[in-house]
Structures are given as C-alpha cells and as structure tokens.
Structure 1
Amino acid sequence: MDSKILAELAANACDDKRAEDIVLLDMKNVSLIADYFLICEGSNERQVQAIARAVKEKAEEQEIDVKRLEGFDQARWILVDLGDVVCHVFHKEERNYYNLERLWGDAPIVELSMHQQEG
C-alpha cells in the first residue's frame, strides 16, 4: 500500500475515535525513519488507547504489519509503527510537552482529506 494512502487510512481511524488536532508531517526529505508522521491527541488515557487500537485494527484489516506498538499501558504517548507511517497518539498534556511539530519543524504539513462523520 502506498504510504500516503496508509497515512490517510490511519488518520481516518484516529478521526473515527474523535482524536483531536490530527497533523500529518511529510518526513520523506527530513528523516530516514518514515515517510510520514501522523500526530494526534486524545483527552484521556482511555481515548488515547482507543485511538491507537483503531489505527492498529485498520492497518491489520488491510494486512499491514504493525511493526511496533509502544506506550499502550501508560497511554501518555502511544507509538504505532506501521513502517512507512509512524502514528504518535498523545495524551493532550504530553503533546504540548514533546511538541513533535516543532521538533520536526522543517517537515511539510500534509493536507488531510478526512471523511466527514455523521451526527
């Protein structure tokens, strides 16, 4: 699967669980770690876990191998490694502290075309 399509799939999984402030960074010319970093936040530990679980399940439905899932038990910063796409699901308080968007400030932000939720 194309890494941009995978990033959109993961972003929609985050959106389905009402993740806030979803940002996609294009890392291709900035880092060798991944093509994209998807960053979002949840307002409490249970929501953070639900978001990460949704990303994992969506990837597995598409037969994408989840390379690593770290931080799930603490649910302050869960990293879901999908290979070319790394999803960072933060607790709202932790996101401001780590501020990955500033750390990787030279990575362009990609416009996301999220499907709209009903209701």
Structure 2
Amino acid sequence: MDSEQLLEIAAKACDDKRAENIVALDMREVSLIADYFLICHGTNERQVDAISKGIKDAVEEFGYQVKKIEGRDQSRWVLVDLEHVVVHIFHKDERDYYNLEKLWGDANRIQLTL
C-alpha cells in the first residue's frame, strides 16, 4: 500500500468518526518526517480517542499495522504514526493553540475525497 492510499484510508476513518476540519499536508518537499500529515480535531476527549481507534481499525482492515499511537492517555493531542503518514488528532482547543497548518505553512495542502 502506498502512502497516498494510506492517507485516504486514514482521512476516511477520521470523517467516519465526525472529525472536524480534516486537512492533509504534503510533507515530501519540506520534511523527512513523513510523506503526509493528516490533521483534524474532535470536540471532546472521547471523540478524539474514538477517531484514533477508528484510524487504527481502518488501516488494520487493509492489512497495515500502526507503528505507534501517542497521547491517548489524555486525548488532547493524539499522534497516530503510520510510518509514511502521521495523523495529528487534536482537541479543538489544542489545535487552535499549536496551529500545525501555520507551522508547516510551506507544505502543500492535498485535496481529499471524503
């Protein structure tokens, strides 16, 4: 599975759990961390946790293993590492504070089909 397919699967899983303001950034030209960042937020901790679980379930259904999930203890900023795609799931307040889209403003946005 290539990183673009993985991005689409993760984005669809976010949408299925009603994540808000889903944004995909193409990181290939600006960072060695990952090919893509997927950023979204939930309105409360339970929704943030449900989004992260939904991503894990969705990618495993396609035979892909999640490398690591960080931040589920408090569910304010959960990071799902899919190796070539890194998903940032924020609580709305934290998303406004960290503003990754501005931090990585040089990255091109990817149009998602949800």
Considering the TM-score relative to the shorter chain, is it more than 0.5? yes
1-structure distance, mates of 2:20, 2:35? 22
> Which 5+ residue runs of structure 2 have no aligned equivalent?
none
State the Cα distance separating 1:85 from its structure 2 match: 0.3
1-structure distance, mates of 2:25, 2:87? 10
- Counterpart amino acid of residue 88 in structure 1: H
Secondary structure of 1:23's match? strand
Secondary structure of 1:60's match? helix
The number of residue pairs the alignment matches comes to 114
State the Cα distance separating 1:73 from its structure 2 match: 1.3
CA RMSD of aligned residues (A): 0.5
> Which 5+ residue runs of structure 1 have no aligned equivalent?
115-119
State the Cα distance separating 1:64 from its structure 2 match: 1.1
> 1:92-103 to 2 correspondence within 5 Å?
92-103=92-103
TM-score normalised by the chain length of structure 1: 0.94
Aligned to 1:23: 23
Please tell me whether residue 80 in structure 1 is matched to residue 56 in structure 2: no
Measured against aligned partners, the alpha-carbon deviations of 1:43-75 in whole angstroms (never above 9, x if no partner) come to: 000000000100011111112121110000100
Aligned to 1:40: 40
TM-score normalised by the chain length of structure 2: 0.98
Secondary structure of 1:78's match? strand
Secondary structure of 1:87's match? strand
